[in-house]
């Protein structure tokens, strides 16, 4: 078990140092990497009750293409992973991890309010995001990707985030 956890931490570390797309347009490799982030965020998160399946969801214009679907059916602490695309925050209430696409950034406060108190790990990407509206923001840092964590928001939702994941975060607030 220790070896498996150490291996997962090493994989997450490699992902953090992986190549992101060029500074302009996101590349397919960048979204392949971000899909891996979502899976690893789920791996290092605990819900009040472990659901089966664990839903990794996307709200808004899906930037992942087939990359997120590669995690469909994988095992995650005794549960299987399922991927979904959802059309509304109300529909996202059944998700464990919710990636909020850039197309929904203007609605972040409403999405946060709709999911308040529910154990849904909210994730988005980009600079200039109001950090109070989501739990994790994936941000570029030079030629790599990193992330920032709103730990108080995660705790308010009843989620426990691994200290190992928090150590890899660029910033925890």
Residue that wins the pLDDT comparison between 37 and 23: 37
Q: Is pTM, for the whole model, over 0.85? A: yes
CA distance 143 to 8: 22
Residues 109-113, mean pLDDT to the nearest whole number: 97
Q: What is the pLDDT at residue 50?
A: 92
Tokens of 100: 């909020």
pLDDT at 11 over 50: no
pLDDT tens-place string over residues 119-157 = 999 999 999 999 999 999 999 999 999 999 999 999 999
CA 142/CA 67 separation, integer angstroms: 23
Q: Is there a cis peptide before residue 132, judged by omega within 30 degrees of 0?
A: no
How is domain 2-172 classified at the CATH fold level? Rossmann fold (3.40.50)
Q: Output the DSSP codes for 127-163.
A: SS--TTS-SEEEEEETTEEEEEE-HHHHHHTT-EE-H
């Amino acid at each position: 078990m220790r070896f498996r956890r150490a291996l997962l931490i090493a994989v997450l570390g490699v992902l953090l140092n992986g190549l992101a797309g060029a500074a302009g347009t996101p590349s397919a490799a960048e979204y392949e990497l971000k899909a891996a982030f979502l899976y690893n965020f789920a791996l290092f998160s605990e819900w009040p009750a472990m659901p089966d399946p664990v839903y990794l969801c996307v709200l808004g214009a899906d930037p992942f293409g087939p990359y997120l679907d590669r995690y469909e059916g994988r095992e995650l602490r005794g549960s299987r992973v399922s991927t979904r695309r959802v059309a509304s925050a109300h529909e996202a209430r059944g998700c464990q991890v919710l990636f909020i696409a850039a197309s929904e950034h203007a609605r972040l406060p409403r999405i946060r309010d709709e999911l308040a108190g529910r154990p849904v790990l909210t994730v988005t990407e980009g600079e200039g995001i109001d950090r109070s509206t989501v739990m994790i923001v994936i941000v570029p840092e030079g030629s790599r990707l990193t992330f920032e964590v709103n730990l108080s928001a995660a705790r308010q939702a009843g989620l426990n985030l691994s200290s190992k994941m928090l150590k890899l975060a660029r910033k925890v607030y």
